Structure 1
Amino acid sequence: MRRTCAVLLVGLAVVAAGIVVASLRVNPYLYFAGYVILQYVVIATAWNILGGYGGYVNFGTPAFFALGAYTAVFLIQTIRAPLPVLILAGGLVSALLGLGIGYLTLRLRGVFFSIATLALSIVLQTMIMNWEFVGGSRGLSVLRPSGPPFGSYVTFLFTVMVLLAVIAVTVARFIERSWIGRGLAALRDNEEAAECMGVPTLRLKLFATTVSGLLLGVAG
């Protein structure tokens, strides 16, 4: 309980510090660089839930990230959805993909699972490159939303990414310290032994792929 409270307090302190930093008048490029760094923090944390805790090397990370991004592009093109809706929708769609792909591939182990996730990235890349609605191989330029709640658009995105990074690290920390994390560690060390001891390995792997996909989609 104390550790959980400490993590929450540290997270709140980081968010507060991020808001203070965003209010400073410095070179906008520094905010952009910070945004990109924090984005990679979310991506690395999401990958670690499945690859680090569970021991399943996932080469499909770009697919989940891209799906979150292109879900946002689709919603902007169709209904001009606001940023919170874009973030939630991207995360939800990627989480559903993680659940579906996990159910189909997590009975594979070792290098066979990794090859399957690599195939996912190639398939999704081919689909996007041939989808003219989102620009295909040329990509698509999206108009920047006007009037962020505070500061410039770059500082606003930096603040949002600070919040997302704190949420991702907090979720990963909670999983690591819970029975879920212990179960993932058990199947990482020896999956057969974990199954013999009653660890619900398939459900844990589905949970890990879903949460990992959710965070990757949010980052996208």
Structure 2
Amino acid sequence: MKRNNLVFTIAALAVIAAGFLAPSIVTNPFYFFAGYVIVQYVAISTGWNVLGGYAGYINFGAAAFFGLGVYISAFLFNVFEIPLWLGILCAAGAGALLGLGMGYLTLQIQGVYFAIATLGLVIVLETIIHNIPGMGGARGMAVYGPPPPDWSGGPVQYIFLVMLIVAVISVALARWIELSWVGRGLRAVRASEDAAECSGVPTLRLKLLACTVSGAILGAAGAPFPFYTSFVEPVTAFSLLIGLNAIAMPLIGGTRSWLGPVIGAILLASVQQIATVTISSELNILFVGLVLIAFVALAPNGILGLAKRKSGGAR
């Protein structure tokens, strides 16, 4: 276990170091535009999987937490000129509080009813933002960030580095949860909540913790987005595509491990970026839907589950 932790720590530091070295090696800013989307998807996928994968509560409300993080960060910067890193922490805190509140209100229901309740959360928050003039309303809000540090190589490179660090921290947190007693308890909840309760597992507290951590990660994932686009609007921040991707990526990679969402995010985001450049961005939702149907039908445990099954068959 200690050796695995050391390997993971070295790999995480290597990824961050590579991100800091990338601006001095790669000169085309497009790769940082595309790279930002990929690492953002890694954070979104990881955040969703804490509740939807580990605990088995399918959450259709990922866009609500992401959009909340977007608007918290944009509002705090435009009004109070709060730095980006502090805005990320505030967005994570707001997402955690929203997740905790959502958990208290909805965790007594399961299955499709829980999914519908979380989907309603997206509609409620988007409607609220639409009707707040200080948030830009339906017209949206421009966000012009401060000049990036000289060492970063430019604004796009800097926001990519920030998002990369957020993604690495999110994956490290998800991995810790998976390997700790919290992860074991959540797996028991996913297998049989009644049996886990009878065995002394504090199911409600674990589910509330999963909702809180999931909301915090999703909120933090949305915080850098205004500085990436320089403009935010409710339709984009609370987009249906965010919710679909959040579900599709862990299902593609595998929901039972921290590595599955990372694999699914890298694959799906890369294909979407290639399709946007070569074909059309409007086909993304159709593509995600088809891929989701295919994996649910042919590989319900994702790529990791398929690889495990094939290796077991070979033995």
TM-score, structure 2 length as denominator?
0.68
Residue 202 (1) aligns with residue 204 (2): yes
In 1, distance between residues paired with 2:186 and 2:26? 44
2:101 equivalent in structure 1: 100
In 2, distance between residues paired with 1:86 and 1:23? 27
Equivalent residue letter for 1:13: A
In 1, distance between residues paired with 2:163 and 2:122? 24
2:164 equivalent in structure 1: 162
2:18 equivalent in structure 1: 17
Structure 2: tracts of 5 or more residues without a match = 223-315
Q: Which residue of the other structure, out of 204, 211, 214, is the alignment partner of 2:213?
A: 211
Higher relative contact order (CA 8 A, sep 6+): 1
Aligned-residue RMSD, C-alpha = 1.1
In 1, distance between residues paired with 2:75 and 2:156? 22
In 2, distance between residues paired with 1:172 and 1:9? 17
Correspondence 1:81-96 to 2 at 5 A: 81-96=82-97
Contact 1:91 1:213 in 2 (8 A): yes
Correspondence 1:64-143 to 2 at 5 A: 64-143=65-144
Q: Offset at 1:97?
A: 0.7
Contact 1:149 1:156 in 2 (8 A): no
In 2, distance between residues paired with 1:158 and 1:97? 26
Q: Deviations over 1:163-194 (max 9, x none)?
A: 11111111111111111111111110111001
In 1, distance between residues paired with 2:97 and 2:150? 30
In 2, distance between residues paired with 1:196 and 1:22? 54
- For residues 126 and 17 of structure 1, do their structure 2 counterparts lie closer, same or farther at Cα, with a shift above 3 Å needed? same
In 2, distance between residues paired with 1:197 and 1:148? 53
Equivalent residue letter for 1:161: M
2:45 equivalent in structure 1: 44
Aligned residues: 220
Runs of 4+ aligned structure 1 residues displaced above 3 Å come to none
Worse-superposed segment, 17-26 or 73-82: 17-26
Contact 2:148 2:158 in 1 (8 A): no
Percent sequence identity is: 55
Structure 1: tracts of 5 or more residues without a match = none
In 2, distance between residues paired with 1:149 and 1:16? 17
In 1, distance between residues paired with 2:135 and 2:28? 32
2:273 equivalent in structure 1: none
Correspondence 1:141-152 to 2 at 5 A: 141-150=142-151, 151-152=153-154
Contact 2:77 2:84 in 1 (8 A): no
